[in-house]
Amino acid sequence: MSSEPIIELRHIHYSIALPDGERRAILDDVSLAIEPGTINCIMGTSGSGKTTLLRLMAGLIRPESGEVLIFGRDITALREPELNKIRREMGFVFQYSALFDSLSVGQNIGFALDRQRRPRAEIDSIVANLLGELGLSGLENKRPSELSGGMKKRVAMARALASNPKIVLYDEPDSGLDPVMTRVIDELILQMRDEKKTTNVVVSHNVHSIWRIADRVMMLHEGQMVADGAPREVEKLDVPVLRQFLEGRSDGPILVR
């Protein structure tokens, strides 16, 4: 009874050119299909290819081969105007917040709405509501440089959610946040799924947080998908790199570089 996937990656290969003319594989034959209205967590060690995977889903980079289907449409060959129409349905929380330093918090959050020429009063109300939900009430007129790292992260989250996207891609939404704020973010992601029916892809290192929110867990390791399933199934898998990651051991097959 599964529905059509809203995001699908088919046999994705992505590599980068090295100075000596060789290429290095970053993603090596990665396939996945994401069901609407679910929370999908992607974990993996640093450098395993998680951010690259999200960038492919957002059409910010193109794969060398393979298909990226969003709402059933392969975006790998689309031109910018078409791609932008699809991106309008997506929110992206970047790993390093990526706020506009010259704009206020309120202008950052309302940026996309402003470009859609939505009425000022409506934008102000959406911004104020999101700030309230994220524990940032009254910070509309601050500049990003006046905020702590964790506050910037939450502003980035508010910006991604402001235009009511169908798909939200989160790159480490809880990095730099304390445990209480991590919990607040987890609950917000759950609330977005349950109330707004968003489809969520969450890149995270935080095993506790993943197990609280995920409908499905995937693990990338050196550019390959080494685990994929419901949390209860994945926690039982006998994959050595997965075991080492879940148990947080320094000894094991994962190379520490």
Ligand X SMILES: Nc1ncnc2c1ncn2[C@@H]1O[C@H](COP(=O)(O)OP(=O)(O)OP(=O)(O)O)[C@@H](O)[C@H]1O
Binding mask 26-65 for ligand X (x = CB under 6 A): x-----------------x-xxxxxxx-------------
Tell the smallest beta-carbon distance from residue 240 to ligand X (Å).
19
Binding mask 76-95 for ligand X (x = CB under 6 A): -------------------x
| Residues 152, 144 contacting (CB under 8 angstroms) | yes
From the list ligand X, Mg ion, none, partner contacted by residue 231 (C-beta under 5 to 8 A by kind) = none
CA angle 131, 181, 57 (to 5 degrees): 75
Tell the smallest beta-carbon distance from residue 251 to ligand X (Å).
20
Under the binding rule (CB under 5 A), the answer on residue 45 touching Mg ion is no
Under the binding rule (CB under 6 A), the answer on residue 66 touching ligand X is no
Q: Could you tell me which residues come within 8 angstroms of residue 62 by beta carbon, excluding any fewer than 6 positions away?
A: 56, 76
Tell the smallest beta-carbon distance from residue 129 to Mg ion (Å).
29
* 74: β partners: 69
Choice from 40, 45, 48, 51 touching Mg ion (CB under 5 A): 51
| Residue nearer to Mg ion on the CB measure, 38 or 51 | 51
Identify the CA nearest to 242 among candidates 256, 221, 257.
221
User: Which residues within the stretch 92-121 sit at the binding site for Mg ion (CB under 5 A)?
Assistant: 95
| Residue nearer to Mg ion on the CB measure, 95 or 104 | 95
Distance in angstroms (rounded) separating the CA atoms of residues 130 and 201: 20
Identify the CA nearest to 193 among candidates 156, 227, 168.
168
User: Which residues within the stretch 195-224 sit at the binding site for ligand X (CB under 6 A)?
Assistant: none
From the list Mg ion, ligand X, none, partner contacted by residue 52 (C-beta under 5 to 8 A by kind) = ligand X
Identify the CA nearest to 10 among candidates 50, 55, 57, 80.
57
Tell the smallest beta-carbon distance from residue 145 to Mg ion (Å).
23
Distance in angstroms (rounded) separating the CA atoms of residues 203 and 173: 8
| Residues 6, 36 contacting (CB under 8 angstroms) | yes
Chain residues in the site for ligand X (CB under 6 A): 16, 26, 44, 46-52, 95
